[in-house]
A and B are shown apart, each in its own frame.
Chain A
């Protein structure tokens, strides 16, 4: 069964600290993996997209890693800011590219 699991479910960190969010998937065959940021009451916004051959991709203070062998991805946030408070969603694209499997997200709260 194709699944995407994220951990932790929620996380609270102090402003300025780093954190790492995890995503494990069983989707096969795999096309790409995406990380999205969703602010409360808004639509998700794309942070990174990685294909099978990419191990790391950065977008400012966000760095995503992918291990296609173990089917694991992580999103590392450096020097967190209050505006990083949001839900972070891992999305895996299946095979032909028009079917997406969504994780349930990690809710991140950054406190001053």
Chain B
């Protein structure tokens, strides 16, 4: 089945450690996105990529980094510089050829930092 796979589903880390969240898609989509979801807030954009080897900062990029070396993969690293990293992280992709194509989301990674 085509879709987006995020792993792991749950992740626990100690404060001060970097951690990388995986996002893989087999939909052949050009555009990929990382969002953060906190209770009572709308999804907030961390980074997005429209094409391989290119990505742009979103609204809350501080403390995060990404890479886009392959079309299928868009990993997100949460660094120790992120002040409040505990959250639900969602990866999404879209067919960039149409403005009206839906965003396809993965099932998220819940990160807890203590």
A interface list, Cβ under 8 A from B: 4, 31-32, 34, 36, 41-46, 49, 51, 89, 91, 93, 96-98, 100-105
A43-B99 contact, Cβ under 8 Å, with A4-B42, A102-B42, A105-B42: no
B interface list, Cβ under 8 A from A: 4, 6, 31, 40-45, 48, 50, 90, 92, 96, 98-100, 102-108, 110
B28 → chain A closest CB, angstroms: 17
Contact B103 A41 (CB under 8 A): no
| A4 to B42 Cα, complex, angstroms | 9
Q: In the assembled complex, which residues on chain B have CB atoms less than 8 Å from the CB atom of A46?
A: 102-104
Residue of A whose beta carbon sits closest to that of B98: A97
Residue of A whose beta carbon sits closest to that of B6: A43
Interface SS of A by simple majority: strand
Q: In the assembled complex, which residues on chain B have CB atoms less than 8 Å from the CB atom of A101?
A: 42
Residue of A whose beta carbon sits closest to that of B92: A43
Contact B108 A41 (CB under 8 A): yes
| A8 to B104 Cα, complex, angstroms | 25
B65 → chain A closest CB, angstroms: 21
A98-B48 contact, Cβ under 8 Å, with A42-B108, A43-B108: yes
Residue of B whose beta carbon sits closest to that of A9: B40
Q: In the assembled complex, which residues on chain A have CB atoms less than 8 Å from the CB atom of B44?
A: 102
Contact B42 A98 (CB under 8 A): no
Q: In the assembled complex, which residues on chain A have CB atoms less than 8 Å from the CB atom of B110?
A: 41
Contact A32 B99 (CB under 8 A): yes
| A49 to B110 Cα, complex, angstroms | 28
